Structure 1
């Protein structure tokens, strides 16, 4: 069935149509994008009102699945349940291609031990191929410098084609994200409830291994390149570090700690990725480079949600409103910008003939932009509720309601039912 979606301002990943443009598509892909009326070629026409018609958002880095599986330290939920719940959440956020950031490190806490992380990767791939998945789930494998036990497991996943993106991260205190031991302790005590002595022991182990660890990284980076997987670097804090990872084949710099590092990456034609939560808050959670500054200075190529998926949709509109960034440039940061890094062939992040019909219809009428519809592969996977529509359920209070009794879901009935 051919669908003609039209009415609002349309952004195709490069060009922003001022109004009246539409898109003709089916489940095989996008057939045409035009300012002309294409309704005669369609089996059904959908008017988007004043909402934006955008490519589905592309998120290259988010580790929210860790929290969905382990909501509290040691409190675990079934991964397939967590993925199903997260999948629906991502659809409401307008994300159609999502890279789960899965960390591989030795003697680490939570879900980041090598074997557990490998199982999470398999769980993601299983879910993605199941009928339960409404969006496209990808894997971003993160390798911690100094992880000897994790290396063979990481390499095995690479060989099997289970990693869509790879990155190098170094959480050794004294550089990168943790410039001081105090910052290291603050993070690990807050996240994993470690004592001062436990964080000091962990820090000493990382520092001890870091001196010889980079040879492993050199070898691993070569394997990543041979597997044709894009390689990124994480939390680069100075130009020298950027130069090093560039020689290893890194094509992107995630969350540069300083503006100097970001500029060095740009000078070497590396993509620079900054956090959407950083944009919304106006500051880094670690007092590092402001994402707004990176964007205004022209050194940012893509936004990632990092740990808060809903921020990705909000950030471009905020950058346009507060920083004066042209709206087309801002929208590219969450669509075609990250897509170019993940998929050089351009199968996501654009609305172009011949590409899959991954489309987000976004309303900006409220205080925060919201998704009205989401199409993935030409299928409508999410339909929001407009303000003019009644809430689909109402609560029927039982006549025999007694003190201390609260209505359960069995008392929810569709508002369309006729009640006497």
Structure 2
């Protein structure tokens, strides 16, 4: 039998923190006891926190390993394995790798690497080479002309559990400020004259008019057929949230305004914000502050987005800066995403749940991951 016993720990439960011990056998939590419980082979946690394994709903971190330097493509499986190691070290035990299906920019690495990356994730799963439990989040760029032919072959695998509806057309949502759009793409060494930029905006807007509505209808039909969870992305106003709710969306990813976050709350959508927004003290794009949404009770989940280590850090800052209790703060990266994505076997520390467990210590206000177990097996 495979036993895991953690003792002398501050264990973060659903509604309280106790000092005690956690017992797991064969990958499942069997018992949590308050007080010291000596046991042969127990790991003395020295008063560290024990929290549920983190659940990441949307990470783009893999892209950095697929192209570690501009113009350099890395083999997909080694990139996935390196990404996976970072994920585990961040305390993430369940991860949704966000793969972009389409892009509005020509010669995009996202388009070029989509299929090989998808296959590499599945290969890593099948071989047992991955430390974390990997699932797939397909980000559908609705204005991409070839979206449907790229998406259809990917929808059939059971690992596809989340689909988000994207529209990065300049002039709306994340890029309603056209200068933010221009600034963002200038980082990719794109420079336009005023005339060229006006032409880019015109062409992108025409693409949206030609494809987005039709593609949305087909993607929704696929999602219903395969019973996957739907998310909207970069909602900006009440009408966009209302539309999302009408078509079956249950998660609002990264609303850009207080208005959109209020509308998501009113319409029963779970709101995800970027943990880097909290760690950095605000949005890098000038959007609404995640910490302000937390203080206004408009935040349900966090995503590490492009920095895996930000997920635990952001949740801990909800505790220290927004005044949330530890159980409530940690629920944004464990119990709440588990529920939003239909998992009933993880996200909480209680008997019967998977032994996805993180040992964490706060040092100078910074949460440090000491050890990680996935289904009772040490992964970090």
Partner of 2:183: 186
Give a deviation string over 1:114-172, Cα, whole Å, max 9, x none: x6312211111211232321111111110012223121321221123342211001101
Partner of 1:2: 3
Q: Please report how far the alpha carbon of residue 106 of structure 1 lies from its aligned counterpart in structure 2 after TM superposition.
A: 4.9
Q: Please report how far the alpha carbon of residue 39 of structure 1 lies from its aligned counterpart in structure 2 after TM superposition.
A: 4.7
| Kept in 2: contact 1:361–1:372 (CA 8 A) | yes
The 2-side partners of 1:82 and 1:177 are apart by 28
Give a deviation string over 1:251-285, Cα, whole Å, max 9, x none: 10000011111111111111000010000111101
| Kept in 1: contact 2:145–2:207 (CA 8 A) | no
Partner of 2:61: 64
| Kept in 2: contact 1:218–1:248 (CA 8 A) | no
| Kept in 1: contact 2:7–2:37 (CA 8 A) | no
Unaligned 5+ runs, structure 1: 383-420
| Kept in 2: contact 1:237–1:256 (CA 8 A) | yes
Give 1:265-304 correspondences, 5 Å limit: 265-304=264-303
The 2-side partners of 1:202 and 1:144 are apart by 17
Aligned length: 375
Partner of 2:94: 97
Q: Please report how far the alpha carbon of residue 222 of structure 1 lies from its aligned counterpart in structure 2 after TM superposition.
A: 2.5
The 2-side partners of 1:308 and 1:28 are apart by 28
The 1-side partners of 2:219 and 2:110 are apart by 18
| Kept in 1: contact 2:17–2:326 (CA 8 A) | no
Give a deviation string over 1:153-211, Cα, whole Å, max 9, x none: 21221123342211001101111000132211111121x21121565554332200212
Partner of 2:191: 195
| Kept in 1: contact 2:147–2:215 (CA 8 A) | no
Asked if residue 234 in structure 1 is aligned to residue 233 in structure 2, the reply is: yes
CA RMSD of aligned residues (A): 1.8
Asked if residue 332 in structure 1 is aligned to residue 297 in structure 2, the reply is: no
Partner of 1:368: 366
More off after superposition, 363-372 vs 237-246: 363-372
Structure 2 counterpart SS, 1:97: strand
The 2-side partners of 1:107 and 1:172 are apart by 8
| Kept in 2: contact 1:24–1:38 (CA 8 A) | no
Asked if residue 143 in structure 1 is aligned to residue 140 in structure 2, the reply is: yes
Give the TM-score normalised by structure 1. 0.85
Of structures 1 and 2, the one with the larger relative CO (CA 8 A, separation 6+) is 2
The 2-side partners of 1:124 and 1:3 are apart by 28
Partner of 1:399: none
Q: Please report how far the alpha carbon of residue 44 of structure 1 lies from its aligned counterpart in structure 2 after TM superposition.
A: 2.2
Rg larger in structure: 1
| Kept in 1: contact 2:104–2:204 (CA 8 A) | no
Q: Please report how far the alpha carbon of residue 28 of structure 1 lies from its aligned counterpart in structure 2 after TM superposition.
A: 3.5
Aligned partner of 1:119 among 116, 140, 143 = 116
The 2-side partners of 1:124 and 1:110 are apart by 20
Asked if residue 83 in structure 1 is aligned to residue 75 in structure 2, the reply is: no
The 2-side partners of 1:372 and 1:71 are apart by 27
Structure 2 counterpart SS, 1:32: strand
Partner of 1:385: none
| Kept in 1: contact 2:104–2:143 (CA 8 A) | no
Partner of 1:258: 257
Unaligned 5+ runs, structure 2: none
The 2-side partners of 1:364 and 1:122 are apart by 38
More off after superposition, 274-283 vs 30-39: 30-39
